[in-house]
Structure 1
Amino acid sequence: MASSILSDMFASGGEKPVLILDFGSQYTHLITRRIRQLSILTVCITGTSPLHAIAALNPCVIILSGGPNSVHANDAPSFPDGFLEYAEENGVPVLGICYGMQLLVQKLGGKVADGEKHEYGKMVITVVEEESEFFGPEASGEIQTVWMSHGDEALRLPEGFKVVARSLQGSVAAIENPSKKLYGLQFHPEVTHSPKGMESLRHFLIDVCGVPADWNMEDVLEEQIKHVRSMVGPDEHVICGLSGGVDSTVAAVLVHKAIGDRLHCLFVDNGLLRYQERERVMSSFRNELHLPVTCIDASENFLGKLKGVKDPERKRKIIGEEFIHVFEGFAPKVGEEVGRNPLFLVQGTLYPDVIESCPPPGSGRNHSHTIKSHHNVGGLPERMNLKLIEPLKLLFKDEVRRLGKFLNVPESFLKRHPFPGPGLAVRVLGDVTEGNALNILREVDEIFIQAIKDAGLYDSIWQAFAVFLPVRTVGVQGDQRTHANAVVLRAITSEDGMTADWYYFDHKFLIDVVSKICNQVRGVNRVCQDITSKPPATVEWE
């Protein structure tokens, strides 16, 4: 699924990305981030993708990620038949990392077995080969600290390979077959615990493989404008679901730059918005963004469909489908004004949305799991009347913000914290229509966010919000016993939303916020703080 979503971006043969085949490592998407920091376009798909999907992306280098499996397991994931032949015939270098290296060794006739001494955490390796392409010509004898996490190890190499680095314990740490352009690392160069990892990756990709470090936001903008114009005919019109968040705003401005007034923006009040969100966002659209936006109140429909629904995946599916129904209902109204119905829908889908929503395409294997169906990817109905335009689907959030700067999107939009497409439906645990849950959550969230802004912390935090728990707790308020609701405050720091750490508030700040919430919001007598990182948790609770 992920590969089909991305392949149309490279079908013309213009872009040649570094392609990462994901075999389930917790560090896989960190590899993507690290290589993009080198100004190199990098995409990631499941390692069990079919060969035609890999070829359609036209990669210049392929990296096989690590993973939790043993290559000897019955259901161990692997690249497709013909993969190595494809890489050799097309001159595409292949680098295997950890599990990826073991997979290369096994598939090419070497021997991988359970090592006598498992290596986990910081380890020391020595470059033992004088002419190592990965480490560079002057690295012979060099000692490096690296991060390892493996039980199996390579005991016999395939024909044509040489050991270029060993661990302090003597196990194989890096291998090469330069004539076949095949390379393997038993350690993880992408993590900060491998201090020279980025330097080695840069040398390998740029100096050895000749990958140009020329990927930038100006090129992304130019390519996406061309892509949008190639999709949308000169007389066709486009609808954009505009929420006021960073993603949809940048997507709308980009498409407007491509096709002008043939873009028709729609803001949908689904009844799941934050405190006074509708009024604030519509005012920002008029006064700052200067794009024509139609507002539709569809809250009754959304809340009606969500009544009694407690499962978070079901919530996301319902919301995704209902958004599409609203957009498809809006199309004929636009058609009455312009003479033809719009055929396209713009969405601010990001790369993390695709990653978390997409299971392995047709593999039947679960080495990569659907984390949650984002309403704009996995939550969409199977059949739609509108064709999707997703100009940001290769980008992480921080990259979208940089793109927005090139488009002169106002800072007030670019600096907004992310807000989930399903809105408060995934922040009210359980049935969102029960009691006064949505209104209570709006008041709590408003107090929390305003306190963060007043303290000058808003720009230092990636995302902050409150969560309504479906439990009641006993409290004492006004010298009387209360049996009221509990809420949770969550604030995180992150670069791209794929991983996150909880934000450490000053003790006095928390005391003041909790006091305001319990004194000002009727129905709340207990406030908790979520101090869980991602992983193991996700950012949102549902």
Structure 2
Amino acid sequence: VGASRLFAGLAPRTTVWMSHGDQVRTPPPGWRVLARSDNCPVAAMGRDDDRRFGIQFHPEVTHTVEGTRLLRNFLFEVCGARADWSMGSFIDEQVARIREMVGDDHVICGLSGGVDSAVVAALLHRAIGRRLHCIFVDNGVLRKGERDSVAEEFAELDLAVVDAGPRFLAALAGVTDPERKRKIIGETFIRVFEGEARRLEQRPDVAGSIRWLAQGTLYPDVIESVSFRGPSATIKSHHNVGGLPERMEMSLIEPLRELFKDEVRALGVELGLSPRRVWRQPFPGPGLAVRILGEVTAERVALLQQADAIVTEEIDAAGLTRETWQAFAVLLPVRTVGVMGDSRTYEQVCAVRVVHSSDGMTARIARLPWDLLERISTRIINEVRGFNRVCYDISSKPPATIEWE
């Protein structure tokens, strides 16, 4: 509704993502309304000097159709910034920073098999070479076959695989609160890494103590876990941020801490990672523990692993793995009555979640073909003993999160 450099080149009417409950009804003196919606009288406002702005919507998410254009206007037209940043320059900056930080020390990298930790490992390897030690922790709540596939895929990094499943499951016994799950898993991971550091220090090629732990923390992890550079609320504690213990024997190296997933993937391409690694669907650090609502037991993990493998297989067979952000199964804490053959059953319920996103900050449901959904449901019920009902989650983020816990 008002001319401004911020909105230069944007359509008179455009779609934006607005999910706040508060609103500004009238701009203060010296400010004017630049945009409005049917239910928000001040969707954007600017000072009369056209140098300061306030907006009510999220320009950084893909749901805001012309958000990138708006941000470019702010950076280059309003602030006068230069477009001289590139992934190549980011790599050079991070390699130099890591070398300065670490010196001659050795570093442990928690490698999960996902793109985040794989990119961190590639950066660290470029910076310090053989002084990097990658460790994969089998926490007992992995996807079916995950341990073997990761060990095979990352064998060239001299990967150490730690079987800590019993330790994690013992720590999670009887716990149902999702925040407690995340904090228990975060602390247990750290204690396992500290134990591995002490073991590595006994090797003749490792001089002195290992004081550094590298992990693939991203900006969305930080936003949802702690208030970072602004008044953001804690949504849930990610195991590698808000779930970390207060006292740790090692200091953290987190070179991706201010990047989003799409930027990490671009960085992975720049570093020469394989397409299989770069485009692997995200998997939460706490694993299936936050997809099992209620208590986590070995039996419930095995049940969900089988259902989740079916979802993965069918989405992949349909050619939708690259097209979707995440596709997975969830074990619900309810039972329902069913009929199998001539008998009454009272079994578990499985929810299926498939979403589209580019950075994990927002997500929309994947409108899967009915025959694909029916095939997934039929296979889970027929092939996984213990389920008699399958539901499809049709909630977007926000208001729902992608993960159920």
Shared fold (TM-score, shorter chain, > 0.5): yes
Q: Supply the distance in 2 between the matched residues of 1:187 and 1:301 (Cα, whole angstroms).
A: 46
Q: Supply the distance in 2 between the matched residues of 1:194 and 1:416 (Cα, whole angstroms).
A: 25
Indicate yes or no: 2:99 matched with 1:229: yes
- Structure 1 residue 409 displacement after superposition: 1.1
Radius of gyration: which is bigger?
A: 1
Alignment counterpart, residue 219 of structure 1, candidates 84, 89, 95 = 89
Amino acid corresponding to residue 485 of structure 1 in structure 2: Q
- Structure 1 residue 473 displacement after superposition: 1.0
- Structure 1 residue 215 displacement after superposition: 2.1
Indicate yes or no: 2:166 matched with 1:300: yes
Q: Supply the distance in 2 between the matched residues of 1:491 and 1:306 (Cα, whole angstroms).
A: 27
Alignment counterpart, residue 347 of structure 1, candidates 215, 221, 224 = 215
Unaligned regions of 5+ residues in structure 2, if any?
Answer: none
Q: Secondary structure of the residue that 1:281 maps to in structure 2?
A: helix
Counterpart residue number, 2:135? 266
Higher strand fraction: Structure 1 or Structure 2?
1
- Structure 1 residue 391 displacement after superposition: 0.8
Given that 1:309 and 1:430 are in contact with CA atoms closer than 8 Å, whether structure 2 keeps it comes out as yes
Given that 1:316 and 1:422 are in contact with CA atoms closer than 8 Å, whether structure 2 keeps it comes out as yes
Q: Supply the distance in 2 between the matched residues of 1:228 and 1:329 (Cα, whole angstroms).
A: 23
Alignment counterpart, residue 206 of structure 1, candidates 76, 93, 107 = 76
Q: Supply the distance in 2 between the matched residues of 1:375 and 1:412 (Cα, whole angstroms).
A: 25
After the TM superposition, which residues 124-273 of structure 1 pair with which residues of structure 2 at under 5 Å, given as runs?
A: 125-127=1-3, 134=6, 144-145=12-13, 150-154=23-27, 157=29, 161=30, 163=32, 174-178=45-49, 182-185=51-54, 188=57, 190=59, 199=69, 201-234=71-104, 236-273=105-142
**TM value normalised by structure 1:** 0.68
Q: Supply the distance in 2 between the matched residues of 1:530 and 1:454 (Cα, whole angstroms).
A: 21
Q: Secondary structure of the residue that 1:240 maps to in structure 2?
A: strand
- Structure 1 residue 201 displacement after superposition: 4.4
Q: Supply the distance in 2 between the matched residues of 1:301 and 1:194 (Cα, whole angstroms).
A: 44
Q: Supply the distance in 2 between the matched residues of 1:504 and 1:295 (Cα, whole angstroms).
A: 38
| CA deviation profile, 1:225-265 (whole Å, cap 9, x unmatched) | 1111111012x100011111111111111101100000001
Q: Supply the distance in 1 between the matched residues of 2:85 and 2:398 (Cα, whole angstroms).
A: 29
Q: Percent identity?
A: 51
Amino acid corresponding to residue 208 of structure 1 in structure 2: V
Indicate yes or no: 2:196 matched with 1:326: no
Given that 2:115 and 2:277 are in contact with CA atoms closer than 8 Å, whether structure 1 keeps it comes out as yes
After the TM superposition, which residues 502-541 of structure 1 pair with which residues of structure 2 at under 5 Å, given as runs?
A: 502-541=365-404
Q: Supply the distance in 2 between the matched residues of 1:152 and 1:355 (Cα, whole angstroms).
A: 27
After the TM superposition, which residues 410-429 of structure 1 pair with which residues of structure 2 at under 5 Å, given as runs?
A: 410-429=274-293
Q: Supply the distance in 1 between the matched residues of 2:399 and 2:147 (Cα, whole angstroms).
A: 33
Q: Secondary structure of the residue that 2:217 maps to in structure 1?
A: coil
Distance 1:396 1:476, change over 3 A: same
| CA deviation profile, 1:64-122 (whole Å, cap 9, x unmatched) | xxxxxxxxxxxxxxxxxxxxxxxxxxxxxxxxxxxxxxxxxxxxxxxxxxxxxxxxxxx
Counterpart residue number, 2:149? 280
Distance 1:479 1:356, change over 3 A: same
Counterpart residue number, 1:480? 343
Given that 1:189 and 1:198 are in contact with CA atoms closer than 8 Å, whether structure 2 keeps it comes out as no
Aligned residues: 394
- Structure 1 residue 330 displacement after superposition: 0.6
Q: Secondary structure of the residue that 1:274 maps to in structure 2?
A: coil
Counterpart residue number, 1:368? 232
Given that 1:469 and 1:487 are in contact with CA atoms closer than 8 Å, whether structure 2 keeps it comes out as yes
Counterpart residue number, 1:468? 331
Alignment counterpart, residue 248 of structure 2, candidates 359, 371, 384 = 384
Counterpart residue number, 1:115? none
| CA deviation profile, 1:424-457 (whole Å, cap 9, x unmatched) | 10011110017x2111100000111001111111
- Structure 1 residue 341 displacement after superposition: 2.1
Q: Supply the distance in 2 between the matched residues of 1:501 and 1:465 (Cα, whole angstroms).
A: 15
Given that 1:343 and 1:385 are in contact with CA atoms closer than 8 Å, whether structure 2 keeps it comes out as yes
Amino acid corresponding to residue 149 of structure 2 in structure 1: R
- Structure 1 residue 514 displacement after superposition: 1.0
**TM value normalised by structure 2:** 0.90
Q: CA RMSD in A?
A: 2.7
Q: Secondary structure of the residue that 1:336 maps to in structure 2?
A: coil
| CA deviation profile, 1:306-331 (whole Å, cap 9, x unmatched) | 00000000000000000000010011
Amino acid corresponding to residue 330 of structure 1 in structure 2: E
Given that 1:126 and 1:167 are in contact with CA atoms closer than 8 Å, whether structure 2 keeps it comes out as no
Given that 1:348 and 1:393 are in contact with CA atoms closer than 8 Å, whether structure 2 keeps it comes out as yes
Q: Supply the distance in 1 between the matched residues of 2:154 and 2:388 (Cα, whole angstroms).
A: 37
Given that 2:5 and 2:77 are in contact with CA atoms closer than 8 Å, whether structure 1 keeps it comes out as no
| CA deviation profile, 1:410-436 (whole Å, cap 9, x unmatched) | 2221111100000010011110017x2
Alignment counterpart, residue 492 of structure 1, candidates 351, 355, 363 = 355
Amino acid corresponding to residue 481 of structure 1 in structure 2: R
- Structure 1 residue 276 displacement after superposition: 1.3
Counterpart residue number, 1:309? 175
